[in-house]
């Protein structure tokens, strides 16, 4: 039988939000397995942890990321406030305010979306994705 694994968040090396400097915020990849990932993100005012996107495929910083067709993602807001924004079929943008204790679920096939910190303090959120996307160097 497998033993529990304890990961201390303060021992995890943070990474900058993709394509941005440290001022935008940072992501801590706490657990990444073949079946899921669990991150804790801190996002500065005016930024998003993942700018407008769908869960399909993209290229960035020398690698390609491809999401499985059944990929799902959950955001749980720990602190701070912002808006979850998504695009409608007609091209419009809808949004809802979110804050501490709110959970956002992106089921498979979710439309283009982003979480935007439009507040005055950092948003801290827990992020779970299953199954994790595949990264390949270009």
Instruction: Delimit the domains of the chain by residue range.
Output: 36-137
Tell me how far apart the alpha carbons of residues 111 and 88 are, in angstroms, rounded to a whole number: 7
Nearest to 116 by CA among 130, 102, 96: 96
According to DSSP, the residues that pair with 77 across neighbouring strands are 125
Q: What's the confidence (pLDDT) of residue 91?
A: 87
Please provide the DSSP assignment of 69-136 as one string.
Answer: TT-EEEEEEEE--EEEEEE-TTS-EEEEEE-TT-EEEE-TTPPSEEEE--SSS-EEEEEEEESPPEEE
Asked: is 36-137 a CATH 3.60.110.10 domain? The reply is no
Q: What's the confidence (pLDDT) of residue 61?
A: 76
Is 0.85 topped by the overall pTM? yes
- Give per-residue pLDDT as tens, 51-89: 899 999 988 778 899 999 999 999 999 999 999 999 998
pLDDT band with cut points at 50, 70 and 90 for residue 124: very high
Nearest to 25 by CA among 2, 7, 6, 42: 42
- Give per-residue pLDDT as tens, 12-42: 999 998 888 899 999 999 999 999 999 999 9
Q: What's the confidence (pLDDT) of residue 81?
A: 97
- Give per-residue pLDDT as tens, 82-122: 999 999 989 899 999 999 999 999 999 999 999 999 999 99
């Amino acid at each position: 039988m497998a033993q529990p694994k304890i990961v201390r968040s303060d021992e995890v090396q943070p990474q900058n939000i993709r394509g941005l400097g440290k001022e935008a915020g940072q992501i801590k990849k706490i657990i990444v397995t073949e079946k899921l990932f669990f991150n804790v993100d801190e996002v500065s005012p005016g930024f998003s942890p993942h700018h407008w996107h769908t869960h399909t495929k993209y290229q960035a910083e020398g690698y390609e990321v491809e999401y499985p067709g059944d990929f799902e993602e959950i955001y749980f807001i720990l602190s701070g406030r912002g808006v979850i924004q998504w695009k409608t079929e007609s091209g419009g943008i809808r949004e809802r305010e979110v804050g501490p204790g709110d959970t956002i679920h992106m089921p498979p096939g979710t439309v283009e979306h982003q979480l935007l910190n439009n507040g005055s303090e950092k948003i801290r959120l827990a992020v779970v994705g299953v199954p994790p996307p595949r990264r390949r160097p270009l």
